[in-house]
A and B are shown apart, each in its own frame.
Chain A
Amino acid sequence: MAAQAPMTEATYYILLALMKPGHGYGMMQRIKELSGGRIEMGPGTLYGVLTRMNKEGLITLTSEEGRRKNYAITEEGKNALHLEYRRLKQLVTDGAILEEVEE
């Protein structure tokens, strides 16, 4: 199975947020909540990542209200997200020796 390239935090959190369909500013708030306030995203970053992910098929347009576009995650996006989550868990598990050294 081909390994997936690591995701940037922006990509990871946007996909996570889009497990529930949404758009624009609302998404920026959700990302802040999901990350416990750690990740603050600018609108320029958000727009850029959304456009790219839409092109790559990780998310899809669900509806449009005037100029606003609403997105939701696709099956492909969910798979990518799960793969990434497992990869991150593996990193933490493999790093367990760090905890031992501290004791």
Chain B
Amino acid sequence: MNWRHGIHPNNYAIGETEKYYSDMSEKGWELVKCGITLSRFQKTEPKKMRYRVEVVNLKSLEDGHLPEEQIAVYEDCGWEYVISRGYLHIFRAPEGNDAPEFYLEPEQQAATLKGLRKQYRSSLMAPFIILAFHAFMAALVGGLFNGRWAAQLYRGLVEETAWVIGFCLFLLWAVFSDLWGFIYISRL
């Protein structure tokens, strides 16, 4: 069998994503393309490759693709462009060739990650809004029948909010800890 699929790490786990593809490459599986959860690999001989993820927000893309010029600059330096997935754009280079890192200053790279973080922030708003609305409606309906709508509203909101906050805090923690860890540690 000369191809297989694999579940790749989450979009925000950039360091892990890079390591994942590197490890697969060492085992002889080369990245061909990827969808939302799965990546597709092709069998090759084991290679030590460095994989790097560039983060570019969707607004800067030329009709959905990474700008040709940006690819050209990176390829000039020894990187091979592989594939893109939303905000993430994957490049690889053989271990040992001196393709320079994309950003030699952590702050510049942090700037690229702002776009990714904005995406997470706005997608976190949605559950808050939906649940607040739901709590409100539940309270309305319950309250209409026994006239104690204020108490119902309060209870509904508190319970739902507690759930939402718990869940979102966890998500936020996961996203931010990965982002900050990545910025200050994983670049070597």
User: Which A residues are closer than 8 A to B by beta carbons?
Assistant: 23-25, 28, 40-48, 66-69
Q: Is the CB of B104 within 8 A of A42?
A: yes
Tell me whether B133 is interfacial, beta carbon within 8 Å: no
A10 to chain B, nearest CB (A): 9
Q: Determine which residue in B73, B76, B112 has the highest number of CB atoms from chain A within 10 A of its CB, and name it.
A: B73
Q: Is the CB of B104 within 8 A of A25?
A: no
What 7 pairs across the A-B complex have the smallest Cβ distances? A44-B102, A25-B76, A67-B72, A67-B68, A24-B76, A24-B73, A42-B104
B162 to chain A, nearest CB (A): 42
Tell me whether B180 is interfacial, beta carbon within 8 Å: no
Q: For this complex, into which size category does the number of interface residues on chain B fall? A: 20 to 34
Q: B73 touches which one: A40, A46, A66 (CB < 8 A)?
A: A46
Majority secondary structure, B binding face: helix
Q: Which residue of A lies closest to B111 (CB)?
A: A48
Q: Which residue of B lies closest to A25 (CB)?
A: B76
CA distance A15 to B79 in the complex (A): 25
List, in ascending order, chain A residues with CB within 8 A of B54's CB. 44
Q: Which residue of A lies closest to B112 (CB)?
A: A44
List, in ascending order, chain B residues with CB within 8 A of A68's CB. 69, 72-73, 76
Q: A44-B112, A45-B108, A48-B108 are in contact. Are A25 and B102 (CB under 8 A)?
A: no
Tell me whether B77 is interfacial, beta carbon within 8 Å: yes
Q: B100 touches which one: A42, A48, A67 (CB < 8 A)?
A: A42
Q: Is the CB of A43 within 8 A of B100?
A: yes
Which chain B residues numbered 16 to 44 have a C-beta less than 8 Å away from chain A?
none
CA distance A25 to B79 in the complex (A): 12
A-contact bits for B126-160, CB 8 A (1 contact / 0 none): 00000000000000000000000000000000000
Q: Which residue of A lies closest to B60 (CB)?
A: A51
Q: For the A-B complex with A24-B76, A67-B69 known, give 11 more contacts whose Cβ atoms are closer than 8 Å.
A: A28-B77, A42-B108, A43-B74, A44-B102, A45-B103, A46-B73, A47-B73, A67-B68, A67-B71, A68-B69, A68-B72
Q: Is the CB of B77 within 8 A of A43?
A: yes
9 CB contacts below 8 A, A to B, read A23-B73, A40-B100, A42-B100, A44-B109, A47-B69, A47-B70, A47-B74, A67-B72, A68-B69
Tell me whether B101 is interfacial, beta carbon within 8 Å: yes
